[in-house]
Amino acid sequence: MPQTARYPRMLFLSLLFAGLLLPGVTAHAACDAIDPLVILPEEDDCPGWYRDGDPMTAYTLEELMVIIDGMAMLYDQYGFIAAAFQNYTAEIGGVPIAGTLGAFNQGSAENAQALYLDPDSGWGDGVPDWPGTGDARLRIDFGYVTFQFWEECFYVTIVVGSGVEGLDVATRLLAEATLGRIQGATPAAVDDWGAVKARFR
């Protein structure tokens, strides 16, 4: 191979494996390195829901215990790395509602799933047609809706209360907005080398 052709090819392969030449694919951090703050939905992500105040964060077990007290040990048992919490407000039929979203980076999909499956983390009915790769559940009791799901290395729990009709639908919209943020922040899987080469044919 002529020297003039060799080096451009080497440069191309270097850029390819760095993820810089894949059209439509954005560079991502490994899931366990993602700050949960970036997956908290903004107002544009879920019209009708508004952030209420500043988020709270925890990057150590001690900080997590300050926020959720005794429950912190459960998350630590399954590889807790960091968490972010945000209050949200909305209106349904002119009735104000309020909710809190907690997003926990558990370090791996295996940890997030194991946490989700632990009975101490919660319970509820499975959510049909959930667009995530993990599982989701919803529970309605005493006028509150609790929506929980896991996706990649994240476990998310949302609690919204007011007792108005349609609260479950509104809560799911906030959950799906969070899911979209997670999917946008985590690495995209490539099926095989053939799929990569097919992009350049």
The residue ranges of every structural domain in the chain are 29-189
| Among the four given CATH numbers 3.40.1000, 3.40.50, 3.30.1490, 3.30.70, the one describing domain 29-189 | 3.40.1000
CA 40 – CA 55 distance, rounded (Å): 9
Map residue 81 onto helix, strand or coil. coil
Summarised one tens digit per residue, pLDDT across range 170-194 is 999 999 999 999 999 987 644 444 4
Can you give the pTM of this predicted structure? 0.80
Question: What are the distances in angstroms from CA 137 to CA 73, 132, 143, 146, 171?
Answer: 22, 12, 17, 8, 12
Which residues fall within 8 angstroms of residue 109, CB to CB, at 6 or more apart?
A: 31, 134, 150, 152, 153
> Is residue 97 within 8 Å of residue 164, measured between CB atoms?
yes
pLDDT of residue 1: 52
| CA nearest to 93, candidates 152, 31, 167, 187 | 167
pLDDT tens for the 201 residues of the chain, in order: 555 444 444 433 343 334 333 333 344 579 999 999 999 999 999 999 999 999 999 999 999 999 998 899 999 999 999 999 999 999 988 999 999 999 999 999 999 999 999 999 999 999 999 999 999 999 999 889 999 999 999 999 999 987 788 899 999 999 999 999 999 998 764 444 444 344 444
CA 48 – CA 43 distance, rounded (Å): 7
Amino acid residing at 172? R
> Is residue 41 within 8 Å of residue 49, measured between CB atoms?
yes
CA 120 – CA 106 distance, rounded (Å): 16
Summarised one tens digit per residue, pLDDT across range 75-93 is 999 999 999 999 999 998 8
Give the pair of three-digit tokens for residue 114: 């194991």
